[in-house]
Amino acid sequence: MNVLVINCGSSSVKFALFDGDEQLVTQGKRERLGSDTAQHKETHKEAVAAIFETVAEYQIDAVGHRVVHGGADITQPQQIDQAVLDAIEEHIPDAPMHNPFSKAAIESAQDVFPSVPHVAVFDTAFHARMPRRATTYAIDQDVAERHGIRRFGFHGISHEYAAGIAAEFLERPLNELRLITLHLGNGASACAVEFGRSTETSMGNTPLEGLVMGTRSGDVDAGVLLSLLRSGEFTVDELDDLLNNKSGLLGLSGQGNDLREIQHAAADGDDRARLAINVFAHRARKYIGAYAAAMGGVDAIVFTGGIGENSASMRRRILQRLEFLGCVLDEDRNHDASVHSDQDHALITTPRSRVEAIVVKTNEELMIARETKRVVHATERPTPKTIPIAISARHCHLTEETFATLFGADATPTPMKDLSQPGQYACEEQVTVIGPRNQIERVRLLGPLRKANQVEISRTDEFHLGIDAPVRRSGNVRGSAPVTLKGPEGTVKLTEGLICAHRHIHMHPDDAEAFAVSDGDEVAVAITGGNRDLVLGDVTIRVHENFRLEMHIDTDEANAAELGKNATATLSPVDVDDDAYAVYTELAATAALTRLG
């Protein structure tokens, strides 16, 4: 599969064409783009059109597009459809120098290559599952919510790629490593890659926060912005221009944003150039310390981007005095380190350094091509189908006799709320479940009344009560655990009836046909898209005319996947046994969080 990658930056468009073996067929870059017609600048649109002419002689099977901002909901590369285009459009105000060009490039590419899949790979996606403590600004949360003020992080494609190369070099799985990746180019950011995931990164709501960059300030006291606005010297747009285009290395040095020139000036004794270099290195070192603390340790520090890959002196400045962390630079290795297309990494610490420092040649285009291929293969599988997840809190089903003892001979269950399965409802009535060790109050009764008593609790509840209950399918209570129930009018000692419910998926026969499963089949299901990925085996398929498609798991299982309110999850039955589970449609599921109890 030949994949064309389009990487649209604020003033440049890069492209690369990879063949099926990830070999680069051709690449190129068109720079200094802009709308300045007075200077006859090439526009992004013209640049993209020129690129398509350049690659016209090759067969293109898929196109991968780099998109800077996809927002908090996009955690994965996506095959481009209208919803993805809308998400890119929605985040134009958050990434005004990138998203409009990406969107335009995608639309042109779709015109030129209408019959091949187009995939968007997002800079924000790698960071989309950062913990809330890292994404939240300490401002009034109502204001934050109304304006979508949260930290997103950028450069995710490069951080993820560099972390992967570092793990390969260290010969350890990424999910066992705590890495700090520093992408130091014209834009610059640091990322704490904790066990394979981004858990902190220095760019925030916009790419302006964090490290010192070519022309961007990085961190500035917000009070300074208020003072500058109050001074009357700057309009909002002028302040934007100051912080984004006239700050960073350029603003500090007064020389320009190219580190090489600043280094020459510093060598000639220019004080501002020296200060620029020192502020840049100090800020990066500060973030390394912060991220080591945030992760509770660090195994390796990874440098990438134009400065990270090429400037030995900047790497030395950044790593100086980090011996206390266990990171000891090897001056010779650092000086000689050279990364290029045939050598994608170099070690720059001494053999006795506990924390290794590695230089990695970033290759965002290759990463985009890889992801594009992966998404295209995944979407060639059968169409996704959505299964909602309902989380069952502890509850009980009672017989008429037990109900009468607990609530009085004349009482009848009082329906309170219909449940998703037709004919089932939660009742006003609640009972106390009593075990040898403890009791649990307010356990909800579900109606209608049944032929056998059945109390469904989680494993955690069992420990609390001090009872071992078997995992059983609903209705199969013979020989299950004894338990005492107490109601307002009386107490019943059941000799059996307490179970830990076997997780299951309710299905209408039509769904069963669509998933190619039958009643009683056991499938394994991977829940992704919650805060923690989770594979559940032994999930029973239950098929009935009256059932509505829904997976039922208990609170322990839901907590293990950290399914938050309104979370969405992707369920895919895992290939456990080809004969029994011949379905492996990817099932997207919305965690509807229906509380049954």
Residue numbers of the site for ligand ADP (CB under 6 A)? 185-187, 214, 257-260, 305-307, 310-311
Where do we find the tokens 């053999």?
351
Compare residues 116 and 182 and give the one whose CB is closer to ligand ADP.
Answer: 182
Compare residues 32 and 321 and give the one whose CB is closer to ligand ADP.
Answer: 32
Choose, from 21, 61, 73, 123, the residue flagged as catalytic.
123
For 253, the 3-state DSSP assignment is helix
Q: Least distance to ligand ADP from the beta carbon of 542, Å?
A: 54
Alpha helices in 210-350 (DSSP H): 222-231, 236-245, 248-253, 259-267, 271-295, 305-310, 312-319, 331-336
Compare residues 78 and 311 and give the one whose CB is closer to ligand ADP.
Answer: 311
CB neighbourhood size of 422 (10 A): 11
DSSP β-ladder status, 24-30 and 62-67: unpaired
Compare residues 216 and 395 and give the one whose CB is closer to ligand ADP.
Answer: 216
How large is the C-alpha radius of gyration of the chain? 29
Where do we find the tokens 């990746």?
181
575 catalytic residue (yes or no): no
Q: Least distance to ligand ADP from the beta carbon of 278, Å?
A: 15
Compare residues 187 and 497 and give the one whose CB is closer to ligand ADP.
Answer: 187
Q: Nearest-CB residue to ligand ADP?
A: 306
Compare residues 148 and 306 and give the one whose CB is closer to ligand ADP.
Answer: 306
Q: Least distance to ligand ADP from the beta carbon of 335, Å?
A: 12
CB neighbourhood size of 57 (10 A): 7
Name which of 392, 393, 391, 396 is nearest 455 in CA terms: 396
Name which of 440, 448, 432 is nearest 400 in CA terms: 448
Q: Least distance to ligand ADP from the beta carbon of 186, Å?
A: 3
Cβ within 8 Å of residue 225, ≥6 positions away: 239, 243
Q: Least distance to ligand ADP from the beta carbon of 187, Å?
A: 5
Go through 268-277 and write b for each residue having 16 or more CB atoms within 10 A of its CB, e for each that does not.
eebeebbebb
Compare residues 187 and 210 and give the one whose CB is closer to ligand ADP.
Answer: 187
* 400 torsion bin: left (phi>0), alpha (psi -120 to 50), beta (else): alpha
Phi, psi of 95 (to 5 degrees): -140, 65
Q: Least distance to ligand ADP from the beta carbon of 286, Å?
A: 20
Compare residues 312 and 347 and give the one whose CB is closer to ligand ADP.
Answer: 312
Consecutive H or E run containing 485: strand 481-486
Structural contact between residues 412 and 428, judged by C-beta atoms closer than 8 angstroms: no
Structural contact between residues 26 and 59, judged by C-beta atoms closer than 8 angstroms: no
Where do we find the tokens 């700090």?
180
Taking each helix axis from N to C end, the angle separating 271-295 and 312-319, rounded to the nearest 10 degrees, works out to 50
Q: Least distance to ligand ADP from the beta carbon of 307, Å?
A: 4
Q: List residues with catalytic annotation.
A: 123
